[in-house]
């Protein structure tokens, strides 16, 4: 059960119980979380014609009325009960505010698994309720520092691995409790998930790396074999484009932190054994090895194999193109393997093409869970995180194609069933074909620089070396 109402956050007094001041402050600051679990700004717009949409003034008045109603309820309940609101970690019911980019109301496997895991956690922990807010990565990067500065950060939030040091530097995390150090079976080192002081602030929620996805039907139509090198990818993409398809899907939009081009770049740099930063955090990848990435993109451009909307394409639009059968190939994360298989039986995946100066080993990336700065429920927050990264939840998560992060999870019965074959294959691939990386605190600048450099490459015809130099300069710009 996902709850978003403060009336469940009660103290241990008499029958008429007050809500806590902490939760009242949160609701007054964020009235969109009131009411049903899925209450959001869509609640105003759903079912309304354009001329019926509430004005800015009307929205303000609605929020004001919600705030007044809450204040009235608190005053009345306090007067009737003669009690004070409960204090943090008092042992009474707790509501955790949780930010995740996945929407559990959606029908895809990953969303379904998230919904079931939260419901199972709440059933096992009746005194802890989860108030889930669906927040995109781009919005999260903007809102987390602001929320933390205002003392309103979520109790738990999900964050992309390369961004953990940057967000830690912005002060959005609370330190992990001592209980976190008791978990020893992570499959990858966790010391890179740390703040400026070197203390760990997050734990891995799932692992992924990059893979080459291709449409077997398209490749068969143009008489092409599955490419195993980047040079072969360009040749196959050229043929697919001549047949009316997008030969290779990628995008240079800066939406959601330029996810598609930055993820591909991250994996490619590991393939060619190129460090991205120096020891003092300066971006330093405009080398001969790094230029190979830019040269690959320019060859695709010259082969007319990139999408017509590549400048504005995102991770999501490319994935949709693969699912709909209009894109022949793309490099995306391994988390898409299960959903692609259910969406289009022609979609297959394989290891990354071999780079001329490297191999097929990409970067281990993924999502993490951490506790928000100033959370007054750190014990309950860690209990939730430990469950969501533990064996039971990990096995459920794996049904959506995500790779669990703890060794104990793979002892669950699910992983011995035929249904687990795909995720077992993905887990084995992540283990053998990827390795983790240490990140600096300027990932967003780097990602934006890659998008801008890609736009110049497309619109202005810049070279591969100019692409990689431009991205490096953007990452180092103060």
Q: Cα separation of 126 and 427, whole Å?
A: 33
For the record, the structure tokens of 446 come out as 């780097």
Q: Write the DSSP assignment of 114-137 as a string of letters.
A: HHHHHHHHHHH-TTEEEEEEE--H
Q: Cα separation of 172 and 152, whole Å?
A: 10
Q: Cα separation of 290 and 468, whole Å?
A: 7
Q: Cα separation of 106 and 345, whole Å?
A: 21
Q: What are the two backbone dihedrals, phi and then psi, of residue 38, each rounded to the nearest 5 degrees?
A: -100, 15
Q: Cα separation of 341 and 345, whole Å?
A: 5
Per-residue model confidence (pLDDT) at position 52 = 36
For residues 286 and 453, the answer to whether their CB atoms sit within 8 Å is no
Helix (H) or strand (E) holding 213: strand 210-215
Low-confidence ranges of the chain (pLDDT < 70): 1-91
Per-residue model confidence (pLDDT) at position 45 = 35
Per-residue model confidence (pLDDT) at position 91 = 62
Per-residue model confidence (pLDDT) at position 54 = 43
Per-residue model confidence (pLDDT) at position 400 = 84
DSSP alpha helices (H): ranges in 399-440? Answer: 421-433
Q: What is the pTM of this model?
A: 0.79
DSSP alpha helices (H): ranges in 178-272? Answer: 216-221, 230-242, 259-271
Per-residue model confidence (pLDDT) at position 107 = 87
Helix (H) or strand (E) holding 161: none
* 371: β partners: 156
Per-residue model confidence (pLDDT) at position 53 = 41
Per-residue model confidence (pLDDT) at position 456 = 97
What dihedral angle (degrees, nearest 10) is formed by the CA atoms of 294, 299, 303, 305? -40
Distance of CA 472 to the CA centre of its chain: 24
What dihedral angle (degrees, nearest 10) is formed by the CA atoms of 106, 334, 384, 145? -90
Q: Cα separation of 194 and 175, whole Å?
A: 9
């Amino acid at each position: 059960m996902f709850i978003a109402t403060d009336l469940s956050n009660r103290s241990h007094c008499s029958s008429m119980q007050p809500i806590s001041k902490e939760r009242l402050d949160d609701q007054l600051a964020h009235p969109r979380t009131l009411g049903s679990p899925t209450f959001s700004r869509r609640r105003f717009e759903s079912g309304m014609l354009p001329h019926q949409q509430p004005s800015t003034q009307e929205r303000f008045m609605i929020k004001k009325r919600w705030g007044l109603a809450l204040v009235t309820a608190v005053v009345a309940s306090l007067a009737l009960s003669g009690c004070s609101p409960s204090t943090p970690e008092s042992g009474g019911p707790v509501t955790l505010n949780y930010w995740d980019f996945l929407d559990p109301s959606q029908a895809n496997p990953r969303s379904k698994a998230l919904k079931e895991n939260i419901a199972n956690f709440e059933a096992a922990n009746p005194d802890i309720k989860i108030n889930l807010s669906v927040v995109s990565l781009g919005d999260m990067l903007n809102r987390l520092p602001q929320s933390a500065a205002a003392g309103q950060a979520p109790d738990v939030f999900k964050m992309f691995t390369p961004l953990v040091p940057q967000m830690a530097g912005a002060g959005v995390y609370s330190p992990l409790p001592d209980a976190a150090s008791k978990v020893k079976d992570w499959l990858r080192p966790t010391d890179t998930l740390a703040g400026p002081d070197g203390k760990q602030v997050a734990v891995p929620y799932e692992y992924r790396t990059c893979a080459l996805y291709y449409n077997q039907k398209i490749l068969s139509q143009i008489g092409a074999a599955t490419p195993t090198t980047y040079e072969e990818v360009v040749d196959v993409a050229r043929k697919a484009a001549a047949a009316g398809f997008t030969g290779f899907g990628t995008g240079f939009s800066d939406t959601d932190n330029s996810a598609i081009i930055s993820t591909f770049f991250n994996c490619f740099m590991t393939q060619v054994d190129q460090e991205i930063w120096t020891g003092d955090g300066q971006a330093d990848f405009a080398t001969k090895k790094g230029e190979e990435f830019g040269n690959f993109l320019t060859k695709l451009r010259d082969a007319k194999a990139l999408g017509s909307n590549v400048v504005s394409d995102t991770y999501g639009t490319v994935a949709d193109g693969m699912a709909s059968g209009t894109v022949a190939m793309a490099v995306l994360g391994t988390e898409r393997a299960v959903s692609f298989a259910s969406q289009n039986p022609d979609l297959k995946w394989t290891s990354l093409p071999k780079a001329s100066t490297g191999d097929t080993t990409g970067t281990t990336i993924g999502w993490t869970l951490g506790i928000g700065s100033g959370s007054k429920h750190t014990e309950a927050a860690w209990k939730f995180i430990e469950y969501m990264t533990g064996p039971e939840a990990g096995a459920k998560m794996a049904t959506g194609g995500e790779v669990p992060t703890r060794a104990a999870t793979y002892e669950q019965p699910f992983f011995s069933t035929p249904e687990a074959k795909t995720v077992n294959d993905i887990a084995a691939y992540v283990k053998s074909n990827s390795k983790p990386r240490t990140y600096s605190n300027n990932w967003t600048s780097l990602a934006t620089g890659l998008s801008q450099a890609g736009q110049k490459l497309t619109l202005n015809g810049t070279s591969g070396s100019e692409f990689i130099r431009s991205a490096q300069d953007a990452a180092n710009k103060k």
